[in-house]
Chain A
Amino acid sequence: MSFRQARWDEPSIWDLAPPGTAEAPTPIFGIPERLRRKEAVRWPELSELAVIRHYTRLSQMNFGIDTSIYPLGSCTMKYNPKVSEALARRRHAAELHPYQPESTVQGALEILWKLERILAKVTGLSEVSLQAAAGAHGEFSALLMVRAYFRDRGELGKRTEVLLPDTAHGTNPASAMMAGFTTREIPSKDGCVDLAALRAAVSDKTACFMLTNPNTAGLFESEILEITAAVHEKGGLLYYDGANLNAILGVTNPGRMGFDVAHLNLHKTFATPHGGGGPGAGVLGAGETLAPYLPIPRVVKTGRKYRLDYDRPKSIGKIKTAYGNFGLDLRAYAFALAHGEAGLKHIARRSVLNSNYVAAKLGKDLPRPFRSLVKHEFLLSGTPLRAKGVRTLDLAKRLLDEGVHAPTVYFPSLVDEALMIELPETESKRELDEFIAAFERAVRDTPAALHAAPRSLAVGRIDEVRAARDPILSWKDLRARAAKVEAPAPVSSAP
Chain B
Amino acid sequence: MERWIPDEAGEEAALRADLGIASDEELFTDVPKRARMGRIGIGPGREEAEVVAAIDKILDRNRPTYRYATFLGGRISPRYQPAAVDAIVSRSEFYTAYTPYQPEASQGMLRTLFEFQSLWIELSGMDVANASLYDGATAAGEALLLCRRIHEGRRFLVPASLPWEEKSVLANYASGPGLAIEEVPYDARTGGLDLDFVRSAVQQKDVFGLLADVPNGFGHIDEGLVELKGILGGVPLVVSADPLALTVLEPPGNYGADVVVGEGQGFGIAPSYGGPLLGLFGCRKEHVRAAPGRIVGATVDAEGRPAYALTLQTREQHIRRSRATSNICTNESLLALAFVVYASVVGPRGLAELERSLAEKARSLAGVLADVPGLRAPRFDAPYLGEFTIELERGSAREFLDHLERRHILGGHPLADPRPGAKSDGERILVAATDSINDRAIQKYASAAREALGVSGGET
* A340 in complex: contacting residue of B19, B43, B172, B351, CB < 8 Å: B43
A273 touches B6 (CB 8 A): no
Q: Does B248 contact A (CB under 8 A)?
A: yes
A462-B44 contact in complex given A12-B111, A52-B84, A472-B299, C-beta closer than 8 Å: no
The proximity string for A residues 1-42 relative to B, scoring 1 for CB distances below 8 Å and 0 otherwise, is 000010000101110000111000110111110111110111
The proximity string for B residues 350-393 relative to A, scoring 1 for CB distances below 8 Å and 0 otherwise, is 01110110011001000000000000000000011100000000
* A458 in complex: contacting residue of B12, B45, B107, B353, CB < 8 Å: B107
B111 touches A58 (CB 8 A): yes
A317-B334 contact in complex given A90-B59, A100-B410, A174-B321, C-beta closer than 8 Å: no
Q: Does A341 contact B (CB under 8 A)?
A: yes
* A278 in complex: contacting residue of B52, B78, B127, B334, CB < 8 Å: B334
A97: nearest chain-B partner, CB-CB: B72
A275 touches B76 (CB 8 A): no
B84: nearest chain-A partner, CB-CB: A48
Q: Nearest-CB distance from A90 to chain B (Å)?
A: 6
A133 touches B275 (CB 8 A): yes
Q: Does B233 contact A (CB under 8 A)?
A: no
* B98 in complex: contacting residue of A26, A28, A274, CB < 8 Å: A274
Q: Nearest-CB distance from A181 to chain B (Å)?
A: 8
A144 touches B176 (CB 8 A): yes
A171 touches B31 (CB 8 A): no
**Separation of A279 and B55 alpha carbons in the complex (Å):** 22
A60 touches B108 (CB 8 A): yes
Chain-B contact segment, one of A200-208, A250-258, A383-391, A438-446: A250-258
**Separation of A52 and B248 alpha carbons in the complex (Å):** 26
Most buried by B among A14, A92, A318, A321: A321
> Which B64-103 residues have a C-beta within 8 angstroms of A?
64-66, 70, 72, 74-76, 78, 82, 84, 86-88, 90-103
**Separation of A475 and B420 alpha carbons in the complex (Å):** 48
**Separation of A129 and B237 alpha carbons in the complex (Å):** 33
A339-B168 contact in complex given A42-B122, A62-B93, A104-B62, C-beta closer than 8 Å: no
Q: Does A326 contact B (CB under 8 A)?
A: yes
A56 touches B88 (CB 8 A): yes
| Cβ contacts under 8 Å, A181 to chain B | 176
Q: Does B413 contact A (CB under 8 A)?
A: yes
> Which A326-377 residues have a C-beta within 8 angstroms of B?
326-328, 330, 333-334, 336-347, 349-350, 352-354, 356-357, 360, 373, 375
A133-B134 contact in complex given A97-B271, A397-B104, C-beta closer than 8 Å: yes
A174-B55 contact in complex given A70-B98, A100-B65, C-beta closer than 8 Å: no
Q: Nearest-CB distance from A308 to chain B (Å)?
A: 8
A328-B413 contact in complex given A25-B247, A466-B299, C-beta closer than 8 Å: no
B111 touches A400 (CB 8 A): no
Q: Nearest-CB distance from B186 to chain A (Å)?
A: 17
| Cβ contacts under 8 Å, B131 to chain A | 277
**Separation of A5 and B106 alpha carbons in the complex (Å):** 11
The proximity string for A residues 414-444 relative to B, scoring 1 for CB distances below 8 Å and 0 otherwise, is 0000000000011111110000000000000
Chain-B contact segment, one of A106-114, A231-239, A284-292: A106-114
B55 touches A111 (CB 8 A): yes
A327-B317 contact in complex given A93-B59, A256-B36, A474-B118, C-beta closer than 8 Å: no
Q: Nearest-CB distance from A441 to chain B (Å)?
A: 17
Most buried by A among B34, B101, B294: B101
Chain-A contact segment, one of B341-349, B442-450, B451-459: B341-349
Q: Chain B: how many interface residues by the 8 Å CB criterion?
A: 198
Chain-A contact segment, one of B150-158, B196-204, B205-213, B220-228: B220-228
Q: Nearest-CB distance from B370 to chain A (Å)?
A: 14
Q: Does B300 contact A (CB under 8 A)?
A: yes
B116: nearest chain-A partner, CB-CB: A474
**Separation of A288 and B6 alpha carbons in the complex (Å):** 39
B5 touches A426 (CB 8 A): yes
**Separation of A171 and B131 alpha carbons in the complex (Å):** 18
A353 touches B270 (CB 8 A): no
A349 touches B27 (CB 8 A): yes
| Cβ contacts under 8 Å, B332 to chain A | 133, 275, 277-279
Q: Nearest-CB distance from B34 to chain A (Å)?
A: 6
Q: Does B190 contact A (CB under 8 A)?
A: no
| Cβ contacts under 8 Å, B259 to chain A | none
A20-B300 contact in complex given A35-B223, A328-B275, C-beta closer than 8 Å: no
Q: Nearest-CB distance from A283 to chain B (Å)?
A: 13
B61 touches A106 (CB 8 A): yes
A345 touches B40 (CB 8 A): yes
Q: Does B22 contact A (CB under 8 A)?
A: no
B296: nearest chain-A partner, CB-CB: A473
Q: Does B295 contact A (CB under 8 A)?
A: yes
A338 touches B46 (CB 8 A): yes
* A29 in complex: contacting residue of B1, B96, B363, CB < 8 Å: B363
Q: Nearest-CB distance from B422 to chain A (Å)?
A: 9
Q: Does A316 contact B (CB under 8 A)?
A: yes
**Separation of A310 and B416 alpha carbons in the complex (Å):** 12
A34 touches B300 (CB 8 A): no
A89 touches B86 (CB 8 A): yes
Q: Nearest-CB distance from B395 to chain A (Å)?
A: 15
Q: Does B165 contact A (CB under 8 A)?
A: yes
* A75 in complex: contacting residue of B27, B98, B263, B317, CB < 8 Å: B98
The proximity string for A residues 145-189 relative to B, scoring 1 for CB distances below 8 Å and 0 otherwise, is 001000000000000000000000111011111111111000000
* B137 in complex: contacting residue of A251, A320, A323, CB < 8 Å: A320
| Cβ contacts under 8 Å, A318 to chain B | 137, 165, 168-169, 172
**Separation of A278 and B94 alpha carbons in the complex (Å):** 10
Most buried by A among B301, B348, B385: B348
| Cβ contacts under 8 Å, B439 to chain A | none
A80 touches B108 (CB 8 A): no
A55 touches B105 (CB 8 A): no
B327 touches A429 (CB 8 A): no
Q: Does B425 contact A (CB under 8 A)?
A: no
A131: nearest chain-B partner, CB-CB: B275
Q: Does B188 contact A (CB under 8 A)?
A: no
Q: Does A463 contact B (CB under 8 A)?
A: yes
* B333 in complex: contacting residue of A178, A275, A463, A477, CB < 8 Å: A275
Most buried by A among B35, B297, B312, B319: B35
**Separation of A224 and B37 alpha carbons in the complex (Å):** 14
Q: Does B216 contact A (CB under 8 A)?
A: no
Q: Nearest-CB distance from B412 to chain A (Å)?
A: 8
B95 touches A273 (CB 8 A): yes
Q: Which 10 A-B pairs have the closest CB atoms?
A: A322-B274, A98-B274, A275-B334, A340-B45, A62-B108, A277-B333, A279-B276, A99-B413, A428-B6, A180-B176
Can you identify 10 A-B contacts, CB atoms within 8 angstroms?
A40-B349, A65-B97, A137-B134, A144-B175, A171-B317, A278-B132, A317-B171, A353-B19, A461-B104, A474-B117
Known: A20-B347, A28-B359, A475-B121. 12 other contacts (CB 8 A): A21-B349, A25-B353, A56-B91, A83-B51, A90-B56, A136-B329, A170-B321, A174-B324, A222-B32, A274-B330, A276-B100, A317-B169
